[in-house]
Structure 1
């Protein structure tokens, strides 16, 4: 099958080069250049007139949780709730609308205590008012904390005497459980919640792929793959249900088991699935006040700075495991203290293993990676992947939690750019929708929900923001030879937009619409 695209703006992302036409043959870019030359070369190609619209390489998701996006399709959405009463009503309506029998787990996703009138997390008593016959779990928008009702705690075996896992917290008040948990404690018990029916999950994965594709994304990430997802992915591969490329990062503790389960997918694609590396958590989230900071939170008279979730020894051991396995390390670091811990551990690895940088270690989120740490990031060859949409979504919260000086350095892409660091962007879906154009707008404008410009010096040009979600993201995945730009020999992963990001006023970037997404030459989404 041959297709010749022409009649619009084609940004190749190859040294800012534009082209008149692009020829695709059998899912691969065959030629890029002048329309007349390509037309003469492929007279039998299907002619696709862009009609003045804009063609780019498809966007690449540098970090998210694909299965989390699928699970969210089966959960009660709480992102728009503004108080406890609305949370109760949303959960009650979800149970009724889905005819959920007694005993079936109910999961609510996306509440944020910063957006609630009460300015605090719900409690188990509030969830008990929804139902005492359904175990209920709420998942915070960050994914780092949540709340269980009484029945859920009983089924999970959590009592007031249950020890708190290191690097986590279990809420207690006057010797009683509040239902709230965070970080390692929440993640530990969240993984014990029974999974939905496999058929429902498979259908949710189909819908999740359509969600990503609707935002122009053709490659996604499974950012923390537990062993419990092996069965789901085996079913997806067996039935060839993946249209998008999925790059998975198991936790270090289950890396060997998951590699054994998918031997054909280790560092290479098998039916659109690849094990790309291994994941580790070093701290929590700044909006949840669990990110590990070098200086205390702005309003913390007790000097509270958040806390680490891994010891130095555990981190060194994890990086050693990654090195011995030849797997890329992907480390969650939000606070600057967590970033410092990662930088120190990577530097130690490189001193004894000079080829460690060939693994292209990644720092995920890098929210408070500070300008004074950029030189070391560049020296070590670490790729920061900024969750830059935080600026709009939680920028006003960061101003309260961190003060204006530190908040202005959130997602310091401008500093990274000045140091020549090839950074990437992500949305941590399902934390936020995988809206790359909104993310590009955030990087270029840096405006909070309240209209505050947060760190104007850290703004970057549109082209560099586009590179973060195309060329640089392909490099992060070791796929720069086949993705990220439009040149002969690369995979025909394309996105068609209704306006040119390089031509519209910056404030209009988030209004650009994705019209079509093409994966290996086949349209997988059309508006």
Structure 2
């Protein structure tokens, strides 16, 4: 690892440049750095956005312990355009979120589950039981976040894969909201292991109908983001790791829809490729394969398939909402900046409800990517 992250940002290098341009070429305009661990890392990311020709915007999410250690306060864009100024929205959008990990990776056998991993003795994850959490209890999460929550200035993002971890996250958030109402949005990252009761609880909390420890919970704007690559890359493996029924419930879009929960799709880069149109295809088709031989291909959890329109919202306006940037970004409307992509075809034409072939969505070419109405690179 480079000892001086700011110097790394300034010097760059061919590998860094290729990675950045690959994001642009895939039609990405804004990314979230979801694990800033120090002031120097924050400064380095900000410095990246200030380099000549940098083609992306970045919003930052700070690790809770780092924010407490450095007594940080949330930051916003240096200026925001409106009818009375000539501000061009900067590429550094500030660091206004707090991040904690409630558990680890579902496929890595470290998600916190309510039931043991499914594989028989000798299989992947055998002997791991219900996985594990990064905390000993929901109350430990409350104790960790209380100083930051009490400021009333941060939005919060909790990494939770397993259904056990999601339950702990909701318990902690409910108690925190009872202690002091947080006006900002809260995000559950991954929310992988779907359960009807969990999603109903999220919906209830959003409506102000939540209850914790026998007491009502003030309304809390909880949203979710799914690592949709779980379906394509690990779906068949999850059938063995979790059991067929549980595997079919991963990334539970149907429950999001039923309970009015805004959801987005993400890559968890470098876990899966950052290709937004591939996210759309994965969410709409729910196709999975057996790796590495590809002898099986099938649909996993068909009831959780998204519509093309839902999936497009999940890579545009919904993530902007998560980061409280939706007054500026995420859609083309009066008052917002002109960040957009030009595609070689209309993804809505591939909607299976209209007779389209959604397996071709990821093949739609990205012709050009724009920030502030200006092209960020040549045609592709």
Interval containing the TM-score (normalised by the shorter chain): 0.7 to 0.9
Which residue in 2 is equivalent to 1:516?
Answer: 368
Aligned residue pair count: 331
Over aligned residue pairs, what C-alpha RMSD do you find? 2.4
Matched, 1:453 2:299: yes
Which of the pair has the greater relative contact order for Cα pairs under 8 Å at 6+ separation? Answer: 1
Q: Deviations over 1:283-335 (max 9, x none)?
A: 11111111110001112565711001123343102332332341111111010
Superposed counterparts of 1:453-492, under 5 Å? 453-492=299-338
Matched, 1:268 2:77: yes
Which residue in 1 is equivalent to 2:339?
Answer: 493
4+ long deviations beyond 4 Å: 193-197, 237-242, 256-260, 300-303
Distance change >3 Å, CA 238–CA 390, structure 1 → 2 = closer
TM-score, reference length from structure 1: 0.59
Q: 1:319 aligns with which of 109, 120, 145?
A: 145
Shift of 1:412: 0.6
Superposed counterparts of 1:230-269, under 5 Å? 230-233=42-45, 235-236=47-48, 239=51, 242-256=54-68, 260=72, 266-269=75-78
Look at both structures and tell me which one has the larger radius of gyration over its CA atoms: 1
**Aligned counterparts of 2:21 and 2:228: Cα–Cα separation in 1:** 23
Matched, 1:219 2:9: no
Q: 2:275 aligns with which of 431, 435, 442?
A: 435
**Aligned counterparts of 2:71 and 2:11: Cα–Cα separation in 1:** 22
For structure 2, list consecutive stretches of 5 or more residues without a partner in the other structure: 80-89, 122-126, 206-220, 290-295, 351-356
Which residue in 2 is equivalent to 1:202?
Answer: 12
**Aligned counterparts of 2:345 and 2:9: Cα–Cα separation in 1:** 39
**Aligned counterparts of 1:488 and 1:414: Cα–Cα separation in 2:** 32
Q: Deviations over 1:316-357 (max 9, x none)?
A: 02332332341111111010000000011111122222x32x
**Contact 1:230 1:258 survives alignment (8 Å):** no
Q: Deviations over 1:490-525 (max 9, x none)?
A: 110011111111112212112111111101111113
**Contact 1:367 1:411 survives alignment (8 Å):** yes
**Contact 1:334 1:369 survives alignment (8 Å):** no
For structure 1, list consecutive stretches of 5 or more residues without a partner in the other structure: 1-104, 106-192
TM-score, reference length from structure 2: 0.81
User: Helix, strand or coil for the counterpart of 1:503?
Assistant: helix
**Aligned counterparts of 1:275 and 1:258: Cα–Cα separation in 2:** 14
Superposed counterparts of 1:123-138, under 5 Å? none
User: Helix, strand or coil for the counterpart of 1:359?
Assistant: coil
**Aligned counterparts of 1:275 and 1:221: Cα–Cα separation in 2:** 9
Matched, 1:278 2:66: no
Distance change >3 Å, CA 239–CA 502, structure 1 → 2 = closer
